[in-house]
Amino acid sequence: MLTKKFDPLKKKIFQVLDHEGNITDEKLVPKIDDETLLKMYKTMLLGRIADTKALQYQRQGRMLTYAPIKGQEAAHTAPIAALDKKDWMVPAFREMAGMLYKGADLEKLYLYWYGNEEGNHFDEELRILPISVPIASQINHGAGVAYAAKYKGDKEVAVAFVGDGGSSHGEFHEGLNFAATTQSPLIVIIQNNQWAISTPREAQSKAQNLASKGIGYGVPSILVDGNDPLAMFAAVKEARERAINGNGPTLIEALTYRLGPHTTSDDPTIYRDDDDLKYWEKRDPIIRFKKYLIDKELLTEEEDEKLQKEYKDFSNKTFKKVEKSGLVPLEDVFNYTYAELPKDLKEQLALHKKLAESEAK
């Protein structure tokens, strides 16, 4: 088993592609058909381009606060590629490419960051839970979904995502412990992008690596090169097999790097070293994966350039459609939580209406 061979307590990291996109050991290469390999790459590329465009739209004042995914595409796309259609995705808020792979429309995802909650409402058959911004809440949600699957006897798993900072939150530990004690089919993926907003990984936890946190709960755990799509695919595939065979959850730490800001409200140049950024730019998951596919003669530079143009046009066209949807009515912000609006919220609604009327004059 990979979780035994690459023991996180021995500081071992699982990698199939080296930093330049070459195979490290042929025996470690997972069985993935060519169609799936290309879909993985194309989705990661679409995610990168849609992400770049979203950042531009926000800077132009056309989109609300946005959380970029640049550099982390492999860490959340490859795990979804390793699942069956009936499995559940429980996202945090930085998994756009993975959601696209699972079948979510880019229009929906842009709509969410445009401030419309309809963008968080996915077709039931996709089995994607809504984006949940509260840190680490996804682990409890995922544990609940996984326990329900076990209770019903369904051969399906839930994959929940959390950031490195989230692994210090209570819900991470509560959810992981619950899944372990109930042997529920849950796969937890920590996207360790090494920054909890501006707090470095070293200041967040004294654990030698975040995968080792699962050992205390009796959960098979593994530290994976999160910028290596083949390694992430293989680790999740093994975890899924273990889960549907009744052997409980797995914890996977995807060691990656956030090449952009935490959100568009953040400025990483204040706290991050340029040399650190340059180091990780050379380990970009899309560059590595592209080289692997070109070596396998599944992709050419010309085809890649064509895809990039296609995805830029698609992203622009999709966002213009979202802009035409207009703004959400003010009442929608207040109306769907309580059966009867509390007094303080009634007062807030009245105040906002008054401000809107004064601005309109």
Indicate which residues carry an active-site annotation: 258, 262, 271
Closest among 90, 146, 150 to 122, alpha carbons compared:
90
The radius of gyration computed from the CA coordinates of the chain, to the nearest angstrom, equals 21
Helix 73-81 to helix 229-244 angle, to the nearest 10 degrees? 40
Long-range contacts of 22-29 (CB under 8 A, 24+ apart): 22/291, 22/292, 23/292, 28/231, 28/234, 29/230
d(CA 17, CA 19): 7
181-205 CB burial, b ≥16 within 10 A, e <16: ebbbbbbbbbbbbbbbeeeebeebb
C-alpha angle 59-333-56 in degrees, rounded to nearest 5: 10
Q: Is 221 helix (H, G, I), strand (E, B) or coil?
A: strand
d(CA 55, CA 40): 23
d(CA 68, CA 89): 19
- Judge whether 138 and 98 are in contact, CB under 8 Å: no
d(CA 51, CA 342): 38
Closest among 44, 47, 11 to 230, alpha carbons compared:
44
Strands (E), 249-348: 250-255
Pairing of strands 186-192, 250-255: parallel
